[in-house]
């Protein structure tokens, strides 16, 4: 399908949160909207009651606000392998699954997938102007 458009500050936040929690797995919620063929990610939110662990991370879906404009979830793979697991895809929420891999240095450390596990193109948009 689509492309995933990341605001620059969303990219930076994803990398920083993942780096901060390493070697545990980070998980965050992605707020945004769909614009024609793109899914635009506008905001990173820490999930309520998150648990960060080695090889797993989870949160309480029932604690999310009702009006939540959730377009997807991002989590890190401290292993550095940017491939979603079967569990990742089965438990996917929203339209896009983002995986952030070590060493969390730049755009090339982020991969995006749709619910069928197909890799999506990532565009980084600078926030200014
Ligand atoms: Zn995973």
> What CATH number has the domain bearing residue 45?
3.40.140.10
Residue 4: per-residue pLDDT? 97
Q: State the average pLDDT for the chain.
A: 87
Please say if the pLDDT value at position 37 is more than 60: yes
Distance 98 CA to ligand 1 centre (A): 9
**Residues bordering ligand 1, an ion, CB closer than 5 Å:** 85, 88
Which long-range contacts link 110-114 to residues 24+ away (Cβ below 8 Å)? 110/6, 110/11, 110/14, 110/15, 110/82, 111/82, 111/83, 112/4, 113/84, 113/89, 114/1, 114/2
The total domain count for the chain is 1
Q: What is the pLDDT of residue 1?
A: 60
CA dihedral 103, 16, 13, 5 (to 10 degrees): 0
Helix (H, G, I), strand (E, B) or coil at 32: strand
pLDDT at 42 over 80: yes
Give mean pLDDT, residues 22-31. Answer: 91
How much distance in Å is there from the Cα of 57 to the middle of ligand 1?
9
Distance 75 CA to ligand 1 centre (A): 7
Distance 21 CA to ligand 1 centre (A): 15
Q: How far, in Å, is the centroid of ligand 1 from the Cα of 22?
A: 14
Q: Could you list the residue range(s) of the whole structural domain that residue 16 is in?
A: 3-125
Report the candidate in 100, 20, 27 with the shortest Cα–Cα distance to residue 70: 27
How many A from CA of 128 to the centre of ligand 1? 32
Angle at 45 between CA 118 and CA 17, to 5 degrees: 80
Going from the Cα of 129 to the center of ligand 1, the distance in angstroms, rounded, reads: 34
pLDDT reported for residue 30: 93
Tens digits of residue pLDDT in 67-117 = 568 899 999 999 999 999 999 998 888 899 999 999 999 999 999 999 999
pLDDT, position 45: 87
Q: Which pTM value belongs to this model? A: 0.87
CA distance 100 to 113: 12
Ligand 1 geometric centre to CA of 70 (Å): 18
């Amino acid at each position: 399908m689509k492309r995933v458009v990341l605001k620059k500050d969303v990219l930076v936040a994803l990398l920083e949160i993942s780096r901060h929690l390493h070697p545990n797995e980070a998980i965050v919620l992605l707020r945004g909207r769909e614009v024609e063929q793109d899914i635009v990610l506008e905001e990173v939110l820490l999930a309520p009651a998150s648990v960060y662990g080695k090889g797993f991370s989870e949160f309480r879906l029932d604690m999310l606000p009702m009006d939540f404009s959730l377009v997807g979830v991002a989590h890190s793979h401290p292993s550095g392998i940017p491939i979603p697991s079967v569990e990742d895809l089965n438990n996917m929420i929203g339209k896009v699954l983002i995986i952030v891999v070590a060493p969390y240095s730049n755009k090339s450390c982020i991969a995006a997938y749709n619910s069928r596990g197909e890799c999506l193109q990532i565009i980084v948009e600078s926030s200014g102007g």
